[in-house]
Amino acid sequence: MKKSIFGRLTTIVFCATLLTLALATHAIAQKETSGNVRTAITQVHVIATGAVVPQAGASLARNNVGVLGEISTSGLTPGHVATLWWAIYNKPEFCATPGCTPPDLNNPLVNGSLQFGGGTIVGAGGRADFSGYLAEGDNTGFYLNPMFPNMPNPSPGIVDAKAATIHMAIRSHGPASSDPAILALQLTTFTGGCTMSNPCATLHVAQFLQ
């Protein structure tokens, strides 16, 4: 067991190192004043219970122009669609609770953003892996959740990569549809495939404080 955990941690650290190098290279190409890269590694938690997801982990590398993140999680239902969503809290000091929670996106002072990060069909092992880069000011794929009518419109994206609290959240959309049009929605939208008989749910989250 110890060897398995150590091996998984080593993999995560190695991935984080690659992310750091990739972000540094990307940043230098964009701006000479991009600054030093700051990397964090954290656990993935079950949203409903707060329990740590086994054999899972996430990393986030930041510099002055953007962030590069990776999340690997387990315990998902094989054959279901999972999507990654970035929840960005640009002014976390205005969040109601330390670390911020989704309802804080409804506070205009938080200047939050909810953005699509990718979609996949969960494999036989119940695992899902995502990675992505977000530049400051890029609000591509933002979603205005009707539950939070006070969210900024348009979304601001990341205002300050080193100051924002960022969550990487994994959302389930139920069994992958055999209808290509519905499957495309499941893989790319917040409400894709969601019905009364097949409700969507945000299951896992990795939190990165400012």
pLDDT in tens, 28-50: 334 445 678 999 999 999 999 99
Rg of the chain taking only CA atoms, in angstroms: 17
Q: Who has greater pLDDT, 111 or 25?
A: 111
DSSP 57: E
Model confidence at 2, pLDDT cuts 50, 70, 90, reads: very low
Q: In which residue are the tokens 């080593």 written?
A: 10
Give the pLDDT score at 33. 53
Concatenate the DSSP letters of all residues of 118-185 into one string.
EEEE--TT--EEEEEEEEBT--TTB---TT-TTS-SS---BS-TTT-EEEEEEEEEEEPPSSHHHHHH
Residue 149: cis peptide before it, omega within 30 degrees of 0: no
Average pLDDT rounded to a whole number, residues 176-200: 97
Write down the pTM of the prediction: 0.85
Contact 148, 106 (CB under 8 A): yes
Q: In which residue are the tokens 């890029």 written?
A: 138
Domain ranges for the chain: 2-208
Give the pLDDT score at 3. 41
Q: Percent of the chain, pLDDT > 70? A: 84
Q: How far apart are the two ends of the chain, measured CA to CA in Å?
A: 33
Average pLDDT, the chain: 88
Average pLDDT rounded to a whole number, residues 9-26: 44
Give the pLDDT score at 7. 42
Q: Is 19 helix (H, G, I), strand (E, B) or coil?
A: helix
Angle among Cα 196, 199, 202 to the nearest 5 degrees reads 155
pLDDT in tens, 129-181: 999 999 999 999 999 999 999 999 999 999 999 999 999 999 999 999 999 99
Q: Is 29 helix (H, G, I), strand (E, B) or coil?
A: helix
Model confidence at 210, pLDDT cuts 50, 70, 90, reads: confident
How far is Cα 62 from Cα 38, in angstroms, rounded to an integer? 5
Q: In which residue are the tokens 């740590």 written?
A: 52
